[in-house]
Amino acid sequence: MKILYAFQGTGNGHMARAQEIVPILKKYASVDTLISGHQSQLKADFEINFQYSGISLLYNKTGGLSYFKTLTRNNFLEAARVIRSLDLSGYDLIINDFEPLTSWICRIKGFPMIGLSHQASMSFKETPKPAKKDFFGELVLRYYAPFRKCIGFHFEPYHAGIKKPVIRKKIRNLQPEKKGYYLVYLPSYSDENIISILKNIPIQWKVFSRYTPQAFTEGNIEVFPIDEQQYLKYFESCNGILCNAGFETPAEALFMDKKLFVIPIHNQYEQECNACALDKMGIPNSKVLKEREIRDWVASDFHYQVDYPDNIEEILLKEVLGR
């Protein structure tokens, strides 16, 4: 069996999931990989056979999705050319983690494809969403990388077609403890915005930034460039994590029994849906970075216990490969 595993390069969650799934698939099939997008800070630890600029969602430095950057810094004509010319006929199955180019090829030409992503969970009506629906956000979730068959991942299995998060072995192998400091990963905010708020909360903060080329310290705040090994070291021993309302990072924090506070990226509907789901679990969240709310969170001792089993191989065998 020959499989193409296609995944989105925007953000780190898709790459983190691929790090876990691709090696498992290679035990049972011949697997090629394809990535499109250009915003992931994680590096692949497996061979990538095809790489395209694709269509990435781009952000400003104050916590929001930038429609202007998204429209002007993506090459839509090149994406359309790839959709017309890329030949997927040699594959028995395309597994798609919210990757738009191969998804549209499969939709147009009828190649066998299964959506395997967090975004796929949003297609089920049981998945928590804000009371006020975002019309444009719903369109993005439905048509950015469309599918006919899917398996979704979410914080809880709200439907039989939704599975619990894929926790990579790099996280499962950590030995969590609490050394008093807090970890921050808010790539949609500038370092200056983060420092201006957190400097007033007198505990130790370790901030991982996509903007700084080298580490620096300002008062009670240490700022580091993105480095997976260093991040995992500090993640292992932090008391809690302050992050955007993506999926993988909050799921990993819950798995590690870390205190969690999330801020959805403004104008990104998927993150607003995630924040809604986490809110129902009692996880604190805010639309913007506010000193008072972060102070209250630091002073709180609330934890939410989860059970995220290591069963992705079983899911792939039974529900994707049909074995």
Strand bridging mode 93-97 / 50-52:
unpaired
Which has more pLDDT, 136 or 164?
164
Phi, psi dihedrals of residue 270, rounded to the nearest 5°: -55, -40
Residue 274 — very low, low, confident or very high, per pLDDT cuts 50/70/90? very high
Largest CA distance in the chain: 58
- Closest by CA to 113, choosing from 50, 26, 34, is 34
- What's the predicted TM-score (pTM) here? 0.91
- Name the one residue in this structure whose structure tokens are 């990104």: 268
Question: Rounded mean pLDDT of 290-299?
Answer: 96
Q: What is the pLDDT of residue 127?
A: 97
Q: What is the pLDDT of residue 306?
A: 96
Domains of the chain with bracketed CATH: 2-168+309-320 (3.40.50), 170-299 (3.40.50.2000)
Helix axes 269-280, 135-143, angle to 10 degrees: 100
Q: What is the pLDDT of residue 167?
A: 96
Residue 30 — very low, low, confident or very high, per pLDDT cuts 50/70/90? very high
Cβ-proximal residues to 211 (8 Å cutoff; 6+ apart), any chain:
61, 190, 191
Strand bridging mode 259-263 / 240-244:
parallel
Cβ-proximal residues to 71 (8 Å cutoff; 6+ apart), any chain:
none
pLDDT at 60 > cutoff 80: no
pLDDT at 63 > cutoff 60: no
Residue 39 — very low, low, confident or very high, per pLDDT cuts 50/70/90? low
Q: What is the pLDDT of residue 64?
A: 63
Tens digit of pLDDT for each residue in 127-159? 999 998 888 889 889 999 999 999 999 999 999
